[in-house]
Amino acid sequence: MAKMNFGGVEENVVTRSEFPLEKAREVLKNETIAVLGYGVQGPGQSLNLKDNGFNVIVGQRKGSKSWDKAVEDGWVPGETLFEIEEACEKATIIEFLLSDAGQISAWPVVKKHLTAGKALYFSHGFGITYNDKTGIIPPADVDVIMVAPKGSGTSLRRLFLQGKGINSSYAIYQDATGKAYDRVIALGVGVGSGYLFETTFKREVYSDLTGERGTLMGAIQGIFAAQYQVLRENGHTPSEAFNETVEELSQSLMPLIAENGMDWMYANCSTTAQRGALDWWKKFRDATLPVFNDLYNSVKTGNEAQISIDSNSKPDYREKLNAELKELHESEMWRTGETVRALRPERSK
């Protein structure tokens, strides 16, 4: 573990050069890793681990679409693909990658197989942090660890196949064996992390829920929708409104910001854009700061967790969710986006 300076603040960081793949394989050479769930994170993490040479099996409900997807991806029923309980029984490390609602439902089965010395692994701090609501309280004689990739499972897999890695946070909630640190870092390397930075289960879930509802999805969609509406109401065409709101940001500016930073972007745009951006960014900050404070407080108090649990446990949850997603998909802005994306020229070969 090394100390690295981030904006003047030192943090604990583990890089691949410090903890190479060969070391990770040695740490986990006698472990059987069961990845429970084959939805968001399960495919990317399990396939990366397998391709990196670890002993991996998948636990999933037989007959589900996810089971069929696992078979399509090369997992073999009875050899590397099992029902959840059988996978738990075989494993020394259980990667609990079901949805938050799925974890609550499956917990009695998983807990039954958490015998002394095993490790319980998460990629999200929800179940442990809000255990008064989820009931997920691990026994005292198992390691409880977390690796949380800072991106989707799809991105984790895509970058792995490109020879790259996505940054992940890691945390140790309970070290019963004295091996929790080596286990969690080895798993972080194994799933394809670029580098790993230290956190806690509570900090991870607070930042994650805030980010999802904020700049990663909720706030950005709200800002997109507001600017698009203003442009349309002032006579701009759907194509122009979408290109100025979404396309230029996602296709041109965001890759440059990811590569060089927003400060570089401000220094390397036109003087007109510089002046306007410098004049307006603090106004947007001040306008949204109260909303972000309300959001963080709602996460911290457990209100967002309770809303999620209550919503996901209703029998008509999927039907209502699909209706909300349909409304988003069928909005003029995102229907325009479909057309714009279809018109992007292919790079000449």
Q: What is the mean pLDDT of the chain?
A: 94
> pLDDT tens-digit profile of 257-301?
999 999 999 999 999 999 999 999 999 999 999 999 999 999 999
Selection from 172, 117, 173 nearest residue 141 by Cα:
117
Element (H, E) at 77: none
Instruction: Work out the end-to-end distance of the chain between its first and last CA atoms, rounded to an integer number of angstroms.
Output: 44
DSSP SS3 for 168: strand
* C-alpha 54: how far from chain center: 22
pLDDT of residue 348: 46
pLDDT of residue 175: 98
Q: Could you tell me which residue, 20 or 347, shows the higher pLDDT?
A: 20
**Confidence band for 5, pLDDT divided at 50, 70 and 90:** confident
DSSP SS3 for 118: coil
**Confidence band for 347, pLDDT divided at 50, 70 and 90:** low
Residue 135's contacts (CB-CB under 8 Å, 6 or more residues apart) are 104, 107
Q: CA 312, CA 5: separation in Å to the nearest integer?
A: 40
DSSP SS3 for 149: strand
- Which residues share a beta bridge with 346? none
Task: Check if the beta carbon of residue 333 is closer than 8 Å to that of residue 245.
Answer: yes
Task: Check if the beta carbon of residue 117 is closer than 8 Å to that of residue 142.
Answer: yes
Average pLDDT for 43-51: 97
Which residues belong to the active site?
124
Instruction: Give this prediction's pTM.
Output: 0.89
> pLDDT tens-digit profile of 68-77?
999 999 999 9
Selection from 9, 99, 91 nearest residue 61 by Cα:
99
Which pair of structure tokens corresponds to residue 279? 């004049």
**Confidence band for 244, pLDDT divided at 50, 70 and 90:** very high
Element (H, E) at 348: none
Work out the burial of residue 87: count CB atoms within 10 Å of its CB; fewer than 13 is exposed, 13-18 middle, 19 or more buried.
Answer: buried
Position 349 pLDDT exceeds 70: no
Q: CA 1, CA 170: separation in Å to the nearest integer?
A: 12
Q: What does DSSP say about strands 143-149 and 119-122: parallel, antiparallel, or unpaired?
A: parallel
